[in-house]
Structure 1
Amino acid sequence: MMKAISASRIFDGIRYHNDAALVWQDDVIQAITPIADLPADIEHQHYADAVIAPGFIDIQVNGGGGVMFNNDITPQAIKTICQAHRTHGTAYLMPTLISSTPENVAKALIAAEQAVNEKIPGVLGVHLEGPWLNKEKKGAHNAELFYSPTIDELNAFPWIVNAKVLVTAAIEKVSDEALTWLKESDVIVSCGHSNATAEALTEKKLSLTDGFTHLFNAMSPFEGREPGVVGTALNTDHAWCSVITDGIHVHPNSFLLAHKAKPQGKLLIITDAMASLGSKNNRFELDGQTIEVIDNKLVNAEGSLAGAHIGMDESVANVIRWGIEEQEALKMASTYPAQAMGADNLGQLKPGYRAAATVLSSQYQTQAVLVDGVLF
């Protein structure tokens, strides 16, 4: 059965359509058509003074709805997290495991595969943030869990074949052989929680690296005599960079500088959100540490930033307020993450693509989210 949603504006990932409707059948987009041309009997929802955009994709989500993935590594927890983030415009996400034990890494891979097999709406795959990180840039991670993986150790994990896997690693702590193994196993590798010098980020390592995780945070800074990870990230054209755009983790001007430095399509918005998003509770546990929201910041007992308390819609609104054009901000939340994850049928509203869209008010507040043909 054909269904449609319409609005004063639709942005399809490339251009705008005025007074148009997005038409889909089952979980596949059929067309964008003028509202006036819709069949009279089609099931149709109209959103006045709104924009329909490709469904937002958040590749770094630690929790939501009161649940931390680290504390509850199950398909049910993933479902709760997806529901919480849908209220902020996220159609798809990667539940993110913060550095944990090898047993929990295996559990996270299995839980994500189950979630995809059970067709829990909104799961794109899983993001393993660690434990192959640098203790000098541990952030809120438990450095006692860090190690450099061998090929045999990597081989032992139950890697997923029917969903995306993103690994954040300090690539100076991972051998070229291990990075090659990950690349050949279709794992997307991002450099993060890294204290590398530019010299340590060799051409070989960079060729095996797809992106950089939460640019500017938990990485060696850019200086005149030492570009560090930040300078290298900005200067590595093939690699995407994810950025937390809550205005707390990164200064707006630093974000705008990164936007000038990176080729178009290589800067993505992430939330790095924790359990507190979409929850009445502003406090939760992570690895025995209490994390709480203070002045809209999530901090641990030492005062270190520990993830973010923001949704994708607010993140997009921030970027637009900082001076990025609306269509570019919408791409940073949908088209570019889809490209970074190799999700070929997401990130645009065009025939044959998955029926996934985010509906925003004129103030960029979420009105509805379409996921695999189901309107939430």
Structure 2
Amino acid sequence: MTIRAITAKTIFDGEQYHSDSALVWKGDRIVDIVPTSTLPVSVIVTDVGDRIVAPGFIDIQVNGGGDVMFNSDTTADGIDTICRAHRQHGTAYLLPTLISATPEEMKTALIAAECAIEQGVAGVLGVHLEGPWLNKDKKGAHDANKFYSPTIEQLEAFPWLERGVSLVTLAAENVDTQALNWLQQHHVVVSCGHSNATQHQLTAEKLASVNGFTHLFNAMSPLEGREPGTVGTALMTDHAWCSIIVDGIHVATQNVLMAHKLKPEGKLLIVTDAMASVGSRTNRFVLDGEEISVQDGKLVNSSGSLAGAHIGMDQSVANAIAWGLNEAEVLRMASTYPAEALNLDDVGTLKPGYRAAATILNSDYSSYAVLVDGVLNP
């Protein structure tokens, strides 16, 4: 099997920087990071010059891309189109995300993700079911007519992934403790979102089965003087990660910086919440019969409500760094921390034996190329 390498002035492995070095891989696995001067002549080398090589970006909330919404094209081919669109923006891996749907549509999405993994679709790690177990008072662009509280019998009927990650966003106040425990016991990653919970509704017993919080500050009860709400609880629940959208529209810059100060290291991670408009030719799409379009750089529905984001991971990383967060920390927020949130142990850092996945960035942090499972995509 051919040994390949990317040489660069700077390689960040997720923990430390390497200068004038090479990322070496064989097949779909990393061999090592070594000084460029030690590479054997037999290695096939791609030199990216002054660019930075970082662990492959992982986006755990992607509703669509390339004019495809996962809700509208719930197939392995649809997932492939979405992955290809986001690779242009530095994303190596993602979770296609289904916005609140019927149980039958949810089953179809789970099967599609399993099939995509079996077929070797590059970049898919599993599936994210965002709803429909949400709170109607924080529905955002979701269809509240689809909302319900699941029973264990209903949970047992879903074809949860065997070869990939199943992530569920739910309003923990509307799901009983037994159902939450069932999800945890069956290795489903549970995130609280679209929640209007009070502090007293998010009990210690429930929080023990909550792994994270979805798009912090958005579609959740706010932090107030006499009530922490979902936001305050998320910030103070140390074991739980928080995903956050850093497009400069969904969350104020100071709130992003505050969240980073308050959450323990490794517990704040970047998501795009991107829609079909990323990599689109039209900048508009239909969700639940309603047209969503890009207006003044943001995605809105007919009532003017935010309806997902119009941003890629590379621009998200650039924003967070421009706002004052440390470069290495931001790169981890886009790669290492999402991998840890999904309990994955072979992606998120550039280490021997890990999957050969890297994001190569220009000096302005725009994406230059992405390595996915040993295949370099310019």
Aligned AA (1:180): N
Name the structure 1 match of 2:200: 199
SS in 2 for 1:71: coil
SS in 2 for 1:258: helix
Name the structure 1 match of 2:223: 222
CA distance in 1, matches of 2:158, 2:346: 28
Aligned AA (1:178): A
CA distance in 2, matches of 1:304, 1:48: 43
CA distance in 1, matches of 2:48, 2:92: 18
CA displacement, residues 179-198 of structure 1 (integer Å, 9 cap, x when unaligned): 00000010000000000001
> 1:41 Cα deviation (Å)?
2.4
**Residues 1:362 and 2:359 aligned together:** no
CA distance in 1, matches of 2:230, 2:171: 10
> 1:289 Cα deviation (Å)?
0.7
Name the structure 2 match of 1:284: 285
> 1:33 Cα deviation (Å)?
0.7
Name the structure 1 match of 2:120: 119
CA displacement, residues 319-350 of structure 1 (integer Å, 9 cap, x when unaligned): 00000010000000000000000110111101
Deviates more, 1:94-103 or 1:40-49: 40-49
Name the structure 1 match of 2:308: 307
Matches within 5 A, 1:95-110: 95-110=96-111
Matches within 5 A, 1:18-97: 18-97=19-98
Name the structure 2 match of 1:178: 179
CA distance in 2, matches of 1:343, 1:124: 10
Percent identity between the two aligned chains: 64
CA distance in 2, matches of 1:125, 1:281: 28
Name the structure 2 match of 1:168: 169
SS in 2 for 1:23: strand
The CA RMSD measured in Å over matched residues stands at 0.5
Q: Give the 4+ runs in structure 1 shifted more than 4 A.
A: none
Name the structure 1 match of 2:12: 11
Aligned AA (1:322): W
SS in 1 for 2:304: coil
Aligned residues: 376
SS in 2 for 1:329: helix
Aligned AA (1:249): H
SS in 2 for 1:186: coil
SS in 2 for 1:77: helix
SS in 2 for 1:79: helix
> 1:291 Cα deviation (Å)?
0.2
CA displacement, residues 106-162 of structure 1 (integer Å, 9 cap, x when unaligned): 000000000000010000000000000000000000000000000111111111111
CA displacement, residues 207-253 of structure 1 (integer Å, 9 cap, x when unaligned): 00000000000000000100000000000000000000000000010
SS in 2 for 1:49: coil
> 1:39 Cα deviation (Å)?
1.1
> 1:6 Cα deviation (Å)?
1.2
CA distance in 2, matches of 1:177, 1:300: 36
Matches within 5 A, 1:252-331: 252-331=253-332
